Structure 1
Amino acid sequence: MRALIQTEAEFMPELTDEQKAARVQRFRRIIKYRNWFGWVFAVVGGMLFWIGFEDGQSPIIMLNGAMFFGYGLFMVWQTRRAREKLDGREG
């Protein structure tokens, strides 16, 4: 009877060096764009927070701005960690 949980060898076939390099290159491109969008989210969030603060009657806009800002910084933090792991592994 076959086990319900697949082993790593069954689940992922062995990749060639070219396939591994292509996956790493694609992942680098993804984290580059994620870094850019993280900064965009942070700037937009800061602007939304400032607009809500200036208005004084918009706590929801301030909250939305704070959430955008926080998520943007979180995205940047994630990309830096991923890039450090890639550089450490390849170095």
Structure 2
Amino acid sequence: MFIAILTFGFDSSLFANVDESLLRVFQWKNNRWENLGGTASLDDRTITVYADSLSHFAVAAVPVPGAVWLFGSGLFGLGLLRKRTAVA
């Protein structure tokens, strides 16, 4: 089995107000983005991850599940409000 330790550098200004524990590496695999996790350091501006294959990778900040729920609920509510306004 092929295992690589990959370290990516990133522009820390993109994640200036983000807790480093929220940073993740995603790999494009099987026609979808897979979350590989990773260990980030804002001071060094790097994130390290283990991968079993090479392809396209992306670094992103993943919000906590509660924030996703709140954001999704807000969008759902706006969608209902828009439908109600369009009918009236």
Same fold by TM-score, threshold 0.5 exceeded?
Answer: no
Which structure carries more strand by proportion? 2
Greater share of helix residues, 1 or 2? 1
When normalised by structure 2's length, the TM-score is: 0.31
Larger radius of gyration: 1
